[in-house]
Structure 1
Amino acid sequence: MRNLSIIIILALLVGCNVRPEDNVTTDSYFNLEKLLNQEIEYLLSQNAGLEKSLTSNGIRENTNFQPQTKDDWESQLSLFFDANIDKPGYKGAFYEEQLSPLSGVSKTIYTAKSSKTAVRTFECLYSDDLLSQINIQIGEKNMIFTSLKTLKLYFDPNGEHIIGFDVEGQENMQLKEDMEYSIQAVITY
């Protein structure tokens, strides 16, 4: 009986000893933040700039900008950083769907399980297995504010580097005029 008790205690101790590498999960979504940080390093090394066109309530403005630091680029891409869904708080928050290639184009779509999640859809488009575009839809709504945004990142034909981005949005607020805006940006070298 005593040997049986010792065996049970040893089994419990060994069974409860969880190694950290056993707790690593592979359930993750597309890591946009990692991609953007790598791209910023490349853009800085190439001394890249931006040609931007901003339209707000029908008024259009064109600008050229030469980001000099990582912070400058992060500021220009801040909406995309905010839309990263590969965060611990989002674990299990999205459905993932793989659409089979049709004429060489395939998609991975992440759709929010809850309407309370700001990022509603996150879509990666691949052309011949190379990332060609990322589309993100963001929606926020409360009693006094409604905001809808569509973000798009475009990649070169090799799927290696960002060549531009678009942002379209509208905001509706109580006691304030509605606003519609769009930004088209092209990366220049």
Structure 2
Amino acid sequence: MKRLPITLITLAFVLAASCSSQLEGETDESNAYFDLGGLLDKEIDNLTNQGATLEKVLQTNGQEERLTLSPDSAGWHGQLMLFYEADINKPGFIGEYFQEELPSINGVSKVIYTSKSQRNPVQVMECFYENDFMTKIRLLVKEINTIYSVEKELSLYFDQNGLSSFDIKGEETMRLKKDLNYQIQGAIVRSL
């Protein structure tokens, strides 16, 4: 009878250790592709600490609106939400993308992630580099079903200070509704 509690404690310890090692393995696999979410988190921290503002231009079916915003961390997250949603570095996407690295020509190189399936919303993600410094990320998003179709091109631009601007171009077609074409341009303004 004294052996039963010792056996149960040993069994519990072994199970806990195996679960822990499985979680560590999952973490490694979840970084299979470029970590866009992690990059955005770092950029938001920098923008918040620098007191950066956002000059935003919205164009929808020929109408234009200009805004100047002073977002906090949550506000920046909201402004960049479509980019977070387009992050392919998620456990459900492991093995779903081809990765191709184009060789550097005159210091310019590119890494391309292409979806293996039409069912993945992000069809292409391209990371552009100049002399190993990231200058642009471009994402092509496409969702089509019987009710609607959405096509978006999302771009992030970087300079020596980090994220400098972004733009979003999109078309939405929905049954029984007028088509929607839009463009959003955001320019980061940093305090000196």
TM-score by length of 2: 0.84
Q: Distance in 2 between matches of 1:164 and 1:109?
A: 21
1:36 maps to a residue whose letter is L
Residue 110 (structure 1) aligns with: 113
Q: Distance in 2 between matches of 1:74 and 1:86?
A: 17
Query: Which of 45, 51, 61 matches 1:57?
Result: 61
Unaligned runs of 5+ in 2: 1-16
1:162 to 2:163 alignment: yes
Query: Which of 88, 92, 96 matches 2:91?
Result: 88
Describe the superposition over 1:130-151 as per-residue Cα deviations: whole angstroms up to 9, x where unpaired.
0000000000000110000000
Instruction: Using the TM superposition, give the Cα deviation of residue 23 of structure 1 relative to its aligned residue in structure 2, in angstroms.
Output: 3.7
Residue 97 (structure 1) aligns with: 100
1:36 to 2:40 alignment: yes
Unaligned runs of 5+ in 1: 1-16
Instruction: Using the TM superposition, give the Cα deviation of residue 102 of structure 1 relative to its aligned residue in structure 2, in angstroms.
Output: 1.3
Q: Distance in 1 between matches of 2:139 and 2:51?
A: 27
Instruction: Using the TM superposition, give the Cα deviation of residue 43 of structure 1 relative to its aligned residue in structure 2, in angstroms.
Output: 0.5
Structure 1: 4+ residue segments shifted above 6 A: none
TM-score by length of 1: 0.85
Residue 13 (structure 1) aligns with: none
Describe the superposition over 1:112-157 as per-residue Cα deviations: whole angstroms up to 9, x where unpaired.
110000000010000011000000000000011000000000000x
Residue 140 (structure 1) aligns with: 143
* Secondary structure, counterpart of 1:120 in structure 2: strand
Q: How many positions carry a matched residue from both structures?
A: 170
Percent identity for Structure 1 against Structure 2: 39
1:179 maps to a residue whose letter is L
* Secondary structure, counterpart of 2:125 in structure 1: strand
The structure that is helix-richer by fraction is 2
CA RMSD of aligned residues (A): 1.7
Q: Distance in 2 between matches of 1:143 and 1:83?
A: 22
